[in-house]
Each structure stands twice: as C-alpha cells, then as structure tokens.
Amino acid sequence: MSRFKWNRIALIALVFAGIGLCAPSALAYGSPAAGSPVKIHVLAFDDADAILVECDGRFGMVDSGEDSDSPTGDDARYPLRPGTTVGKGREREVIAYMESLGVNGDNFDFYIGTHPHSDHIGSADDIIRAFRPQAIYLPYYEDDFITSSSRLWDNLFVYDNLVAAAEWARETYGARFVQFLDDVEVSAVAESDGGEGASESWVRERTGSSSFSLGSATIEILNGKNPLPGDRSFRVPDANFYSYGVKVTGANGRVAFLAGDINDYRLDWSVGGGDETRLVQSGDLSRVDMLKMGHHGINGSNTPAFLRAILSSTGSGSAPIVVQTGQFFAMPLETASVLERAGARHFCASYAAQRGKAALVVMLGDGAVTTNVDGDQLVVQTRKEAPWAFLYANGRRISYPEGWRSIEGTMRYFERDGSLCMGWKSWKGRWYYCDWADGSMETGWVEVSGKPYYFQANGAMLESRGWQRVEGRWHFFDKGGNGDAKVGWLKDGGAWYYLRPGTGAMATGWAQDGPTWYYLDGSGAMRTGWQRIGGSWYYLAGSGAMRTGWLKSGGAWYLLRDSGAMATGWAQVDGAWYYLRPGSGAMATGWAKADGSWYYLDGSGAMRTGWLKDKGKWYYLTGSGAMATGERVIGGVSYSFDDSGALR
C-alpha cells in the first residue's frame, strides 16, 4: 500500500465546499420533535457492548456485540488465532430486542462500530442487513496497524464482514459509509508514492461529519483518530487504542458518553496521557450524566483522573449513572472508590437480566436521570481482589449494623465496616458460610475447598461426628469435629464404604470410581468375590473392583462381559467361539452337547471345525461346529459316520 501525505487545509476545504459531504445537520433523518428524553438501552450482557440510543422515535446503535460466525482457519486471510471468540454469538438477542422496540429501516438512523473487536462489532453485518441503518460509521482498519501479533485475534474477520455489509447497504439503498471523520487531520487529497493505496475518490466517499442529529439529540463521535490505508506512521499495540467514543446530548442538555473501549494507555502500556487524558484536555467532554465505562470497567480505562473530571458535577442535582458492560469483580477497587466519592450510581448491564429485563435502560430526563431497574432492586457486587463485597440498591452502596439481616428473603451478614461477609463466619459459637457470589447465607450441602459441609435451615454448620443420617442419606463426618463430610473410600469397622463426591452420601448398589465399578450392599459395605446381582453373576476382586473379560476361578475359566455379568452359553471372543456351561458359566473343553448337537472345544476352549482325530477315531465338525452323523458329502466325497460321529 502507498504512503500518503495528508493536508489538513485541503480537507477543510473539501468538507465545507460541499463536494458530496454532509454538514452536521444532514444526518438528521426525520424531523426533530420538541425534545423527548434520550433513552440509552445497554443490552444486558456482561461480555460485550450492544447499545441502542433512542430519541423522538428515532434509533441509532453503538456496537452490537458478538456474532456466532468466527474464522475456521480455512481462509488464509483469517487464521484461527489464540484468543478468537467462538460460540458466544449475541445477534439473536440483539435482533429480538430491536424488533421489540419497533426498529426498522424507516427509523434506524445510524450504526457506529467503535473499533474492530468482535465483542463490539461481531454481529454488525447481521444488524445492518436486518435493519438498514441510513449511515454506518467504522474506523478504517488493517492488521498492519497493530504491533502486537497476539492481539490480532479475529479483528480483520469481523471488520471485513462489517465493511461488506456496509457496501451492500450503500449499493442497495444508498446508505452512507463513513470511515474518516472531518475533524481530525485527514485529507481526501493524497499524494501517492506509486503504491496501491486508496484513491482520492475512495477516501472522499468515506469521509463524513463526526457530529449529527438523532431526533432532537446531538450525536458526536469523539476520539476519531482515523488511520488511512498505507499510513505506516499509525502503529498501536491494540485496536482499543483508537476506539471511538460516542457523546449523546439531549435537547435538555443531559449528556451520555458511550466510551467503547477507550483507555488511557500510552504506546508503552503505561497508564496516563492516553486517550482519556486527551478527551478531557480537548474540552469535548467536560461532564456527563451517564457513562458507559470504557473497556468493560477494567484497569487501564476509567482512570481516577478521567472519572473525577467527568463525574465531579452533573450540574443538575441528579446523580450520574455509570454502567459497566462487564462484571464488577473485574473492576479495580480504586475505580469503585472514585465512583462512590463522586456520588455516582453504578450498575452492571447484566443486572437487568437478574430482574428479567433484556437491557438496562437509562433515561436522560429533564428532572432526573433514571433507569428501568430503579425501585426496590437490590444487587450484590463483589470485589474479589480484596475479600470484600458490598450491597448495592438502585446503584448505590448500602450497609446495615453488624449482624445478620434478611434482604429480599435472603440472610446476609454485615461486618462492622458495612461490608458483607464472604466465606466462613463464626457467630455465637456456631459456624456459618456466606456465598462468595452474593454474600447470602448458605444452607444445605456446600462444597468448600473440595470438602462438603452441611448447613442446617438456620445456616449453622452441622457439627456431628461419625455416621449421621442427613436428608435420608448416610454420611460420615470428620471425627475431629471439623464439620466436613468425608468423600471417597472409607474403612470403618473392618468394612470399606464409598462416599460419593460432592455430598459424601454413602453409596449402595453399583458405584463407579474413575473407570472402575464397585458394588456396595444395602449397609454400604463393599462386596468381594462372586455376587449374584439382579439375576446375573459378577466377580468382584479383593479390591472390590468389578472384573471383566476372562477370569480363572476355582480351576475353571469364566467369561465376564463388558457389563461384568458372567456369560453362559455360546460367546464369540476375538473371532473364536466358546461354550460357557449353563448354570455354572465354566468354560467347556473337549466334547460338549448343546442344543441337541455335539461340539468339540480344544484346550483353550475354542470351538473346532473340520476334521478332528480323537482317541484314534476321525470326526467331522461342520461350519457351525456341530458334529456330523450319517451320510455326508465333504469336498465332493461321500462319507459315512455312525451315531457317535466316528467315521465308519
């Protein structure tokens, strides 16, 4: 690809001369209404971004989550690299939600892909083809932009899929496809070095304004560092380094910022002075009423300085709302502390799913900023890097005096500092256990560090020792009084018992341990030797292990099938037939009568066929093994055999 020299002045002249480009107002598809509140629909995913913006009956989308399609490795352009996401498609959920809101080609104004990562734009091609947005925005991408080969993943695959859908939209119904924004140093006038770079017209077609309307709301694409084909000066470790952020301003002045995967890393991966810093310094982002956290809330994004700058004051008396499209435990404790000091209400998008909602909806109203999960919602968030957890109600941390408290029918223990108990808790001489996911008091069987414990209906650990009957099953508890029920093999009173993994319930009947089967009688004691079970005989070794295959016992050979059941009658093994005597199952040798016919089994037990000389006499055994008698033609020759089968 060629290298270009870019002229900022030429760009400005190009844009405002109106040669095929749009002024900010040109993308207002539909007449602005009086100005209804903006709604931000953050779909309830904890592993992807899919966000709908709604205002005055118009819709736009910022990212759309994962797709079920992924590279297979068959195409050299799209190798199956480590880290490629497979089997986490969200397109069906996204499409269903959009349909439920009535999104269609008449009211779907734009689709913005913040950057070419599959958890953001994987399903974009499906969304574009299904709903026909009037304009599509996506930063230009090449794998050559990325310096770290371990971070290429399926970037090019999802990027190319989106581009193909955008080109289809442009050709089919005249959609605009924008990859280069007019307010960054990008020119449609290029000076080629003779390589195969983009043509002037190609760049021109894909250049557009970074600001446009959605009903009465204003949409601004921030952080629009648009790399261009052949521009080798643009090299970053990861596509997150040029993620778009989308600012939404309602007619009432309320502001939402959808941060994509914007971070504050410098190119050496040190934090500070990156995109977040530049956004604040530019003055384009001074305060927000709602923040969709960058990069799912993890470290390197949402730095304390950035959060303090944009959340310090909403200027409206309404607490800012912060939404995380990841899981709370992945968010640094320092970040959570900054949110609390800023008075922000903090939600994870997936919390909506806990309340049976497909999306967390934030309403940027005139009087207050609200959500569709406001009211009596209680959400527990855990901070696992320090074993703390706090209870959140309506996005705010709450606490109660030390002790047990019932919250929405669930008992939780509040520590002196207001945090929830997580794990073991000693209270009034008894032991309790609080779930590490949400701090709830455990009851019933709980596995802790690989050991099962039983907690009674009041939460107190059962501290019995030895054999105890719990919920109708026998268990053996540590005689040292530690409360854990034993699992696996236990020898007690001269007998072996098998206590099932998980709960330690004593096994009876057949039980499998690894690849081996054992039989435990009604008392739980392991059986050995010959055992008649369910109408069949089985042989259990001294270890209790069920035997299969050939077994010599008491001077006789027996065949035990794959099920362990002793075979009787005819059985074929490795192409040879054997006769196991009915009743005893002992392998026959020599002459044996079966089903009215005589057969001969050699010393190994294998059935013979053809001519046989026994004790000086000749016999003929047919293909079935049955001994011939009377007149027979064998090989074209007639023979006569007496009633004993001997040749006359």
Secondary structure (3-state) at 162: helix
* Strand 108-112 with 135-137, pairing: parallel
User: Rounded CA gap, 65 and 82, in Å?
Assistant: 19
Task: Please give the average pLDDT of every successive group of 10 residues along the chain, which has 648 residues.
Answer: 33 32 36 72 96 98 96 92 89 97 98 98 98 97 94 96 98 96 52 50 83 97 85 90 96 96 96 95 92 95 95 69 89 86 91 90 92 79 73 85 91 92 94 91 94 96 93 92 93 96 95 96 96 96 96 96 96 96 95 94 95 95 94 93 92
User: Rounded CA gap, 448 and 433, in Å?
Assistant: 9
Q: 639 - beta bridge partners? A: 632
Q: What's at 422, amino acid-wise?
A: M
First to last CA, the chain: 98
Q: Residue 153 contacts by C-beta under 8 Å, 6 or more apart in sequence?
A: 81, 83, 84, 85, 117, 118
Q: What's at 28, amino acid-wise?
A: A
Q: Residue 494 contacts by C-beta under 8 Å, 6 or more apart in sequence?
A: none
pLDDT for residue 384: 65
**Token pair in block for residue 575:** 């192409």
Per-residue CA distances from 101 to 108, 122, 569 (Å) = 11, 22, 71
pLDDT for residue 32: 41
CB atoms within 10 A of CB 386: 8
User: Rounded CA gap, 177 and 166, in Å?
Assistant: 6
By the 8 A CB rule, do 497 and 525 touch? yes
CB atoms within 10 A of CB 623: 7
Whether the pTM exceeds 0.85: the reply is no
Residue 90: which of 69, 113, 65 has the closest Cα? Answer: 65
Residue 126: which of 84, 85, 94 has the closest Cα? Answer: 94
Q: What is the dihedral of CA 182, 188, 191, 194, to 10 degrees?
A: 120
* Strand 630-634 with 637-641, pairing: antiparallel
E strand segments, 493-636: 495-499, 509-513, 516-520, 529-533, 536-540, 549-553, 556-560, 569-573, 576-580, 590-594, 597-601, 610-614, 617-621, 630-634
Per-residue CA distances from 250 to 80, 247, 457 (Å) = 43, 10, 52
User: Rounded CA gap, 220 and 607, in Å?
Assistant: 88
**H helix runs in 432-529, sequence order:** none
Order across the sheet with 50-55: list the strands. 176-178, 135-137, 108-112, 58-64, 50-55, 38-43, 359-364, 369-371
User: Rounded CA gap, 141 and 156, in Å?
Assistant: 8
